[in-house]
Amino acid sequence: MKSINRIFRLRTIGVVLLLGLFGLFAFAACSDDSEDGAVEETAVELQVPVAFGTNLPSLGDGILYISERIEQLSGGSLTMTVYEPGTLVAANEILDSVSTGKINAGYATAGYWVGKMPAAPLFSAVPFGPDAAEYLAWLYYDDGMDLYQQMYDDAGYNVHVLLAAIIPPETSGWFADEIKSTDELDGLRMRFFGLGAEVMQKFGVQTSLLPGGEIFAALEKGAIDATEFSLPVVDQRLGFHKLVKHNYFPGWHQQATTFELLINKDVWNGMSDRQKMSLEVIAKASVADSFAHGEALEGAEIKKNVTEYGVTNHYWSDAILAEYKAAWLEVVEEQKADPFFKKVWDDFSAFDEEYKYWSSIGYLPRPERPN
């Protein structure tokens, strides 16, 4: 009987030890998972309609950098499906659709919402404003991103915004004829974006904001006389050089242009810390990639326009650029009637005032323009 009791006690101790070890492993696993947020993670598929075709280099394919990597980066808890323009919702409906929950995410540029929030273009592209380096410095390390989110919050939009891409300077116009003075702009019908359109209107230009896919047809049919759209490599894909042969630089209206990933705020708030960090990290990586990609492509493309397509590249004269800038400052004063526009403009201007001194002595001058 004693031996049986002894065997029973040994077996009991063994079971207790085994259960104890199992508990320790389970606790360790739970501890590890809780640290990275996996315990409370629910798999999320972000369905993302885009405002620009993903076939357009740098302009449209930035979201693919995110969609192709987010599943692996998030440990499989996040996936993303991208929908080309118009296949899920129209480009100009992305903000409202994300906010209401019709879709849970979208990819666009804030300048498209100027009719809803006057300050929106300041988070997209600023005429005579920052290049990519200064823009990112203000957005990431000053007040830019906080103000960006505040704009949506104050306007009642239920969205969380992530900066998702930035591209180099755009061209500032394709024209049928050479423009020798701003007087020759009067009466032109031109596709133009953002706050730059307000500037062009000062010179008698009738502006419209056509989606990229509609511009070529509008030029071909004579519905517009001129256009600007994007980087040289993008404009070339859209074939503007087939219809108009005078391409103007610099892109005074868009020295850098940003793109946003909007996520429904209820969806965002329901994500784990790891999921949120995965999106934040991949979005910032996409910003770097989109800028590098855009910069890498342009030199060869603008030369090809000249050597293969008979385009003349022009650089606006100092006198015309001065006129554009004076008109822009008039637009600023008019737009400052909106309190939030003024708040954002004053904040950026204060940052810019300090940055100018650094940029004036920190960098070599740009190379001289070729004849």
3-class state of residue 262 by DSSP: strand
Distance from C-alpha of 327 to C-alpha of 202, rounded to nearest angstrom: 7
Closest CA to 203 of 85, 330, 114: 330
Question: Structurally, how many domains does the chain consist of?
Answer: 2
On whether both 246 and 265 belong to a single domain, the answer is no
Profile the chain (371 residues) by mean pLDDT over runs of 10 residues.
36 35 34 45 97 94 97 97 96 97 98 96 96 98 98 98 97 97 98 96 96 95 97 96 97 98 98 98 98 95 95 97 98 98 98 95 86 59
- Domain-located, residue 312: yes
Residue 262 domain boundaries: 40-169+256-295
Supply the pLDDT for residue 305: 95
What local confidence, expressed as pLDDT, does residue 32 receive? 40
What pLDDT shows up at residue 370? 67
Specify the CATH number for the domain of residue 248: 3.40.190.10
Residue 244 shares a structural domain with residue 262: no
If asked whether residues 83 and 164 sit together in one domain, one would say: yes
Is there a single domain that holds both residue 162 and residue 180?
A: no
Instruction: Write out the H or E segment, with its range, that includes residue 194.
Output: helix 194-201
Q: Are residues 165 and 195 in the same domain?
A: no
In a shared domain, residues 262 and 242? no
In this structure, which long-range contacts are made by residues 301-309, counting pairs with CB atoms below 8 Å and at least 24 apart in sequence? 301/231, 301/232, 301/233, 301/236, 302/232, 302/247, 304/236, 305/232, 305/236, 305/241, 305/247, 309/236, 309/241, 309/242
Tokens of 135: 């823009």
- Alpha-carbon separation of residue 211 from 36, 57, 218, 230, 234 (angstroms): 41, 16, 11, 11, 13
Same domain? 178 vs 324: yes
Among 265, 295, 325, identify where a domain stops: 295
Any idea which residue has 């850098």 for tokens?
Answer: 256
Describe the chain by its helix, strand, coil percentages, rounded to 5.
Answer: 55, 15, 30
Phi, psi of 41 (to 5 degrees): -75, 135
User: What does the pLDDT read at residue 371?
Assistant: 59
Are residues 82 and 227 located together in one domain of the fold?
no
List Cβ neighbours of 91 (8 Å cut-off, separation of 6 or more).
Answer: 49, 50, 51, 52, 85, 108, 112, 211
Pair (203, 192) in one structural domain: yes
Q: Is residue 274 part of a domain?
A: yes
Among the candidates 272, 295, 318, a domain finishes at 295
| Strand extents, DSSP E, 225-297 | 226-227, 246-249, 257-264
pLDDT confidence of residue 40: 67
* 329 within a domain of the structure (yes/no): yes
Do 266 and 244 sit in the same domain of this protein? no
Q: Take residue 350 and report the two structure tokens written for it.
A: 């204060």
Same domain, 84 and 203: no
Position 8 in a domain:
no
